[in-house]
Amino acid sequence: MGAVSRPGPWQRGRVPAVLALLLGLLMLLHAWITDRGGLGSLVETFLPWFGLLIPVLLAGALWRRSASAAVALLLPVVVWLHLFGGLLGDKSHAGADLTVAQHNVGDANPDPSGTARDLAASGADVLALVELTEQARGTYEEELAKTYPYHAVRGTVGLWSKMPLSDTRPVDTMMDYGPLAATKPADVKLTDNRALRTTVATDRGPLAVYVAHLGSVRLMPREGFWTDSRDRNAKALAEAVAGERNERVVLLGDLNGTTDDGALDGITSQLRSAQDEAGDGFGFTWPAAFPVVRIDQILVRGVKAESSWVMPATGSDHLPVAAGISW
């Protein structure tokens, strides 16, 4: 009997080759994924982590000694580097005119006093806090008063500043907790207002600052990846920013979404991410114990981000973020 010929390196490993191509196309065409049931937002939230599948597929290609699978892996590698390669290096510069910071302090924070002291020692000139409860608000006001003589609070969001504030007003983001209403602890009281706009009187001129906490996202049994409230808030906030007359704008907030999430396009098309522009690494902020996504954002327009970084953990389940900006 004649010898049975074995498939060559270009015929072996068709499965890992197909999987590599599908992975590359998924990352390349992520903006086209339907958002029905929040699928698109779910994929885009964890988009950087799809890169971990590349070494897995590479191991499969090597095990199968498949040239076709190895070549197919070039697609996801190139796409991932195009999307996130710029985040791998340190793009920060010295010489910022102003340092801004943002922190979701957490409605269940067991140590608001310690959190406030840590933030006051951060060196930030302007500090935005979100998820302020009625119970903890007085603690933050008392602990931050010495460092920040000016502050404004509207509902669950507030801004503390070393410089005078003016023209402070709430921003209507059409808040609706929807199916999340029942998940809030009974002893935690949160008002409906979750966004404000104010003007900071800097030495270089007025700076419009928005502080926002968009609606939460959850994996729900029937709704899937539930984003309705967040998406509605994002559209309303985008409209408010679009109507802003001050050419210099900073948005500080927990947007419950990454800058890759298409649901935030209305905002990210107007404002640039300080972390993307001047950060070092991905800047993941949640959950604090093991950060896997960056949902706490500092976005700018009309000013330049010189540096951006994640600050040490506090008693919150989010990590604080800061950025140095200049004119």
Contact 87, 51 (CB under 8 A): no
Structure tokens at 287: 């959950």
Phi/psi at 169 (5° precision): -155, 155
**pLDDT confidence of 181, banded at 50, 70, 90?**
very low
Q: How far apart (Å, rounded) are the C-alpha atoms in residues 71 and 73?
A: 5
pLDDT of residue 258: 96
83-122 pLDDT, tens digit each: 999 999 899 999 899 999 999 999 999 999 999 999 999 9
Share of the chain above pLDDT 90, in %: 80
Nearest one of 321, 318, 294 to 308, comparing CA atoms:
321
pLDDT average, residue stretch 259-278: 96
What pTM was computed for the model?
A: 0.89
**pLDDT confidence of 37, banded at 50, 70, 90?**
confident
SS3 256: coil
Q: How far apart (Å, rounded) are the C-alpha atoms in residues 286 and 219?
A: 16
Q: Which of 185-199, 258-272, 276-290 has the lowest mean pLDDT?
A: 185-199
Q: How far apart (Å, rounded) are the C-alpha atoms in residues 12 and 52?
A: 23
SS3 178: helix
- What is residue 90's DSSP assignment? B
If you search the block for the tokens 């937002």, which residue do you land on?
41
pLDDT of residue 180: 44
Q: How far apart (Å, rounded) are the C-alpha atoms in residues 119 and 130?
A: 13
Supply the DSSP string of 125-176, one letter for each residue.
Answer: SEEEEES--HHHHHHHHHHHTTT-SEEEEETTEEEEESS-EEEEEE------
Nearest one of 270, 320, 327 to 299, comparing CA atoms:
270
Q: How far apart (Å, rounded) are the C-alpha atoms in residues 170 and 173?
A: 9
Asked whether residue 182 carries a pLDDT value surpassing 50, the answer given is no
Structure tokens at 276: 């993307």
Asked whether residue 288 carries a pLDDT value surpassing 80, the answer given is yes
Q: How far apart (Å, rounded) are the C-alpha atoms in residues 169 and 153?
A: 9
* Close Cβ partners of 4 (under 8 Å, ≥ 6 residues apart): none
Asked whether residue 46 carries a pLDDT value surpassing 60, the answer given is yes
pLDDT average, residue stretch 39-44: 91
Can you give the residue ranges of every domain in the chain?
A: 14-87, 98-326
Q: How far apart (Å, rounded) are the C-alpha atoms in residues 195 and 184?
A: 19
pLDDT of residue 226: 81
Mean pLDDT, the chain, whole residue set: 91
**pLDDT confidence of 36, banded at 50, 70, 90?**
confident
Q: How far apart (Å, rounded) are the C-alpha atoms in residues 256 and 185?
A: 20
DSSP E strands in 221-271: the ranges are: 224-226, 249-254
pLDDT average, residue stretch 51-77: 94
145-180 pLDDT, tens digit each: 999 999 999 999 999 999 999 999 999 986 554 444
Q: How far apart (Å, rounded) are the C-alpha atoms in residues 327 and 316?
A: 32
* Close Cβ partners of 71 (under 8 Å, ≥ 6 residues apart): 17
pLDDT of residue 183: 42
Residue 205 host element (H or E): strand 205-213
186-242 pLDDT, tens digit each: 444 444 689 999 999 999 999 999 999 999 888 766 656 788 899 999 999 999 999
Q: Which CATH number fits domain 98-326: 3.60.10.10, 2.60.40.10, 3.40.50.2000, 3.40.50.150?
A: 3.60.10.10
Asked whether residue 58 carries a pLDDT value surpassing 60, the answer given is yes
pLDDT of residue 4: 54
